[in-house]
Amino acid sequence: MNGRQVFSLAAALIVLACGLVTVAEQFPDAPGPDGIRKGGTLFEEQSAPPLADPVNAQGKRVRAYPEQPPTIPHTIRDYQIDKNVNRCLECHNRIQTGVSGAPMISITHFMDRDFQVLADVAPRRYFCLQCHVPQTNAQPPVGNSFKDVDILLRNRKQQSAQ
Amino acid sequence: MVEWIKGYWHTLSRPATAFSLGFLLLSGFIAGIIFWGGFNTALEATNTEKFCISCHEMRDNVYEELKGTIHWTNRSGVRATCPDCHVPHEWTHKIARKMQASKEVWGKIFGTINTREKFLDKRLELARHEWARLKANDSLECRNCHDFEFMDFSVQSERARKLHATQLSTGKATCIDCHRGIAHHLPNMADEDAWGPDNPADDASRFGEDNPLKTEGTK
């Protein structure tokens, strides 16, 4: 590296540093990106929002669409689901539903991927929480304009009646 | 050796000649206080969480699993530690349990569960001991804190209310029948009945001759 190259590199670095200083002066504490956790600045560390409370529903929740896996209407704290035991199935398996009063897992859960019905829950359906989840009282950070299909049909009917 | 024992017996079997009765009584009384107090202090020392987890078998397995459960961390800040559930609080039963626990000292010395693998292999057997113990004493250690008489059914969930009212109140089931594996992970339950030995689903009258759980001589 000759003297000229060293000089140009130093000059470039100085220009870059000056630019950064200017930016930092213009935006001393830039606002954070408008993400899920709104507010705050880039240099500010916000504390996490409090954990939401689980909701223990009385009775069944209506599904938002027919294929929706039903949500879990009770708390499932410390429920063990592993190769040793499945706590959900202690109430929701076929034999136990008579006593527990819990809904039986649907017959689709007995089918393997070739639609062969097995004697008990199919291994691919064993991990309940892959589809079924409990609900909390958390406010959704992003809005949702989903409309129930029944509402859409009713609106259509009203429009055509007018 | 025999002569030596005979010599001692000779001394012990004769009345004291040099000491007054008052001295003997008083010293016996004081020695009694010291020994009895020492015994109880030692007993209490073995009845603490710190003592339990001084062995790695407990610290690395069951203690780790206890952390995070409702009996460890909860909104009201009440914590049940090892002896709260595993040692009876009443003196006679406590002594009986402590004598049983000498087996655990044996296990510690000979390393019965000194690796994770050994522990997992033995876990079902160990769990069955605890289930049987709690079944036999009607879940006494649960009831030290959770009194059926004090339960407010109106704030229990529908399911809990129904089962507590039908199974627990009538004595058909005790706490441990349903609430197994609440403080530690469960072993492989393939050969275990989900609701304990008195599972109402096993009741032959529910199914008649066709009780699916009673056939094949599995029960």
Q: Which of B68, B159, B194 sits opposite A96 (nearest CB)?
A: B194
Q: Is residue B196 part of a domain?
A: yes
B110 and B155 both lie in a single domain = no
B40 to chain A nearest CA, in Å?
A: 36
Question: What tens digit of pLDDT does each residue of A138-155 get?
Answer: 888 788 899 999 999 999
Q: Is residue B100 part of a domain?
A: yes
Hey, how many other C-beta atoms are within 10 angstroms of the C-beta on B186? 20
Contact state of B186 with A85 under an 8 Å Cβ cutoff: yes
Question: pTM for this one?
Answer: 0.73
**How high is the pLDDT of residue A21?**
65
Q: Is residue B90 part of a domain?
A: yes
Question: Half-sphere exposure of residue B209, counting CA atoms within 13 Å on the CB side?
Answer: 0
B109 and B153 both lie in a single domain = no
Compute the Cα dihedral for B37, B38, B43, B45 and give only its sign.
Answer: positive
Contact state of A84 with B187 under an 8 Å Cβ cutoff: yes
Q: How far apart are CA A120 and CA B43, in angstroms?
A: 49
Q: Is the Cβ of B157 closer than 8 Å to some Cβ of chain A? A: yes
B95 and B155 both lie in a single domain = no
**How high is the pLDDT of residue B218?**
40
B212 and B171 both lie in a single domain = yes
Q: Is the Cβ of B204 closer than 8 Å to some Cβ of chain A? A: no
Q: Is residue B162 part of a domain?
A: yes
**How high is the pLDDT of residue B109?**
93
Contact state of B194 with A90 under an 8 Å Cβ cutoff: yes
Q: Is residue B191 part of a domain?
A: yes
Q: Provide, as residue numbers in chain B, all residues whose Cβ is less than 8 Å from the Cβ of A58.
A: 158
Maximum CA extent, chain B: 83
pLDDT at B188 over 80: yes
Give mean pLDDT, residues B144-161. 88
Share of chain B above pLDDT 70, in %: 88
Q: Is residue B77 part of a domain?
A: yes
Give mean pLDDT, residues B74-88. 92
pLDDT at B217 over 50: no
B172 and B101 both lie in a single domain = no
Instruction: Using the 3D structure, point to which of B68, B90, B114 is the last residue of a domain.
Output: B114
Contact state of B188 with A58 under an 8 Å Cβ cutoff: no
Question: What tens digit of pLDDT does each residue of B32-63 get?
Answer: 999 999 999 999 999 999 999 999 999 999 99
Q: Is residue B41 part of a domain?
A: yes
At A97, which amino acid appears?
A: T
B93 and B150 both lie in a single domain = no
Contact state of B181 with A90 under an 8 Å Cβ cutoff: no
Domain count, chain B: 2
Contact state of B162 with A98 under an 8 Å Cβ cutoff: no
Confidence of residue B212 (pLDDT cuts 50, 70, 90): very low
B150 and B110 both lie in a single domain = no
| Predicted confidence pLDDT, tens digits, chain A (162 residues) | 677 787 788 877 877 776 666 666 666 677 777 766 677 777 777 787 788 888 877 778 889 999 999 999 888 988 999 999 999 998 899 888 877 788 999 999 999 999 999 999 999 999 999 999 999 888 887 888 999 999 999 999 999 988
At B149, which amino acid appears?
A: E
Confidence of residue B80 (pLDDT cuts 50, 70, 90): very high
Confidence of residue B215 (pLDDT cuts 50, 70, 90): very low
Range of the domain at B97: 31-114
Confidence of residue B202 (pLDDT cuts 50, 70, 90): low
Q: Is residue B11 part of a domain?
A: no
A132 to chain B nearest CA, in Å?
A: 19
Question: What tens digit of pLDDT does each residue of B98-143 get?
Answer: 999 899 999 999 999 999 999 999 999 999 999 999 999 999 999 9
